[in-house]
Amino acid sequence: MIDKRVATAFEAVSDIPDGAHVAVGGFGLCGIPEHLIAALAQRGVTGLTCYSNNAGVDDFGLGILLRNRQIRKMVSSYVGENAEFERQFLHGELEVELVPQGTLAERMRAGGAGIPAFFTPTGAGTKVAEGKETRILRGRECVLEAGIFADFALVKAWKADRLGNLVYRKTARNFNPMAATCGKVCIAEVEEIVEVGGLDPDQVHTPGIFVHRLVLGMDYQKRIEKVVTRLGANPSEG
């Protein structure tokens, strides 16, 4: 009987070594594998290369690993909410590769599909293209971008069955499906695990063949990265 459930997040990440390349799902603080990240922090592995849209905030998400100096290199799209990220980068303590957001998603998807590289017009004529092969395709200059092939993928889903089939919830899907496929070992933390047959096959976003370990997460913080309010937002205020 196939059963990919693992008892704890710490056990699930216990074989991630120093220097590993790790793809991490999430967008801001939405849909991040917060328990798996916390377990990595607890283990104290160092020299990590992380592929993720951003690095969380200073005290949550990947920001915890940054604070602990466990990340050697970040490959990401957005860094604006993490002061420690900025500080380490400006002081030469952290290697950073900034990637256009759509390109980052496609690099993960390409790696998951076994595609070594692809051409895209995004970034042509900018610093993004420096040092990369370019070609004119269909009348546009395009940049050759490499697929991402990570050692491990850490993702967060809403529901799963014990076979590892995953369902994400609304915008928390974000980078998770692409990250899940580009890691040699995919570890998913979920809010609920159901019996086989308990998921509508047409609603499965990541097939279980891509997922190797499942962890049932509890007590999610689900923090909001930036709360914005305005006068008149409450109907009772008129």
User: Is the pLDDT at 184 greater than 70, yes or no?
Assistant: yes
pLDDT for 225: 79
Tell me the mean pLDDT in the region 94-106.
Answer: 97
Beta bridge partners of 98: 76
Please say whether the beta carbons of 130 and 144 come within 8 A. Answer: no
Nearest CA among 16, 35, 34, 33 for reference residue 25 = 33
The owner of tokens 């950073």 is 96
Tell me the mean pLDDT in the region 23-40.
Answer: 96
End-to-end CA distance of the chain: 59
Residue 169 binned pLDDT confidence (cut-offs 50, 70, 90): very high
pLDDT for 167: 98
Report how far apart, in Å, the C-alpha atoms of 196 and of each of 31, 127, 189, 208 are: 24, 48, 17, 11
Please say whether the beta carbons of 160 and 190 come within 8 A. Answer: yes
User: Is the pLDDT at 232 greater than 80, yes or no?
Assistant: no
Tell me the mean pLDDT in the region 6-11.
Answer: 98
Nearest CA among 86, 128, 105 for reference residue 182 = 105
**Separation between Cα atoms, residue 41 and residue 119, nearest integer Å:** 36
- Mean pLDDT for the chain overall: 94
User: Is the pLDDT at 226 greater than 90, yes or no?
Assistant: no
User: Is the pLDDT at 234 greater than 70, yes or no?
Assistant: no
Hey, which CATH number is domain 9-114+149-216, 3.30.70.2740, 3.40.50.1820, 3.40.47.10, 3.40.1080.10? 3.40.1080.10
pLDDT for 238: 45
* pTM, two decimal places: 0.93
Q: Who wins on pLDDT, 220 or 1? A: 220
In the chain, ranges of CATH 3.40.1080.10 domains = 9-114+149-216
Tell me the mean pLDDT in the region 131-145.
Answer: 98
Please say whether the beta carbons of 78 and 85 come within 8 A. Answer: no
Q: What's the gap between Cα 185 and its chain centre?
A: 14
pLDDT for 228: 79
pLDDT for 150: 98
